[in-house]
Amino acid sequence: MLSGNKLVGTASVCNYGEKWGGQIGIQMPEMNLMVSEDGNTLTGTYKGWKGPEEMTLTRDCSGLDELRDQVQSLQEKIATLELRLAEVLETSSSIKRDAAGNLVIQSNKDIIIKSDKDIILKGQNVRQN
């Protein structure tokens, strides 16, 4: 059960080995954990074979900034493509498919969209990554 920033409950743990007194089995230890303000760490205790045990669980968020930068870069590329497409559509006379099934926007600048990654503009291949 999650109550505010406190997490109380049980978890299934499979035990075996000398640490556990040679016992084998599945234990359902009680856990009392506190969630950190940033939400990346849980600290508290769980009930072990010999009593309460301290524990800390940490979520690694080190890649978050890199992911955020990549998303921002993609958003900028999409915005640029949307603007360019809007300009073409304003001046286009027709949109159709050619014999090969490619989408062709006929305007003062012919654009052929061959797939979701390849765009041909004025005879130049513009590859979107």
Each residue of 71-126: pLDDT tens digit?
Answer: 888 888 888 887 777 776 666 556 667 777 776 666 655 555 555 555 555 555 44
| Count of domains for the chain | 2
Report DSSP letters for 57-117, one per residue: EE---TTHHHHHHHHHHHHHHHHHHHHHHHHHHHH-SEEEE-TTS-EEEESSS-EEE-SSS
**What pTM, to 2 d.p., does this model score?**
0.35
CB 110 within 8 A of CB 123: no
Domain boundary among 27, 42, 58: 58
Predicted pLDDT at 48: 74
Domain boundary among 32, 58, 84: 58
Predicted pLDDT at 118: 56
Each residue of 26-76: pLDDT tens digit?
Answer: 667 788 888 888 778 888 888 777 788 888 888 776 677 788 888 888 888
**56-93 as b/e: b if 16+ CB within 10 A:** eeeeeeeeeeeeeeeeeeeeeeeeeeeeeeeebeeebe
Same domain assignment for residues 29 and 74: no
Predicted pLDDT at 13: 66
20 three-state secondary structure:
helix
Range of the domain at 44: 2-58
Same domain assignment for residues 89 and 42: no
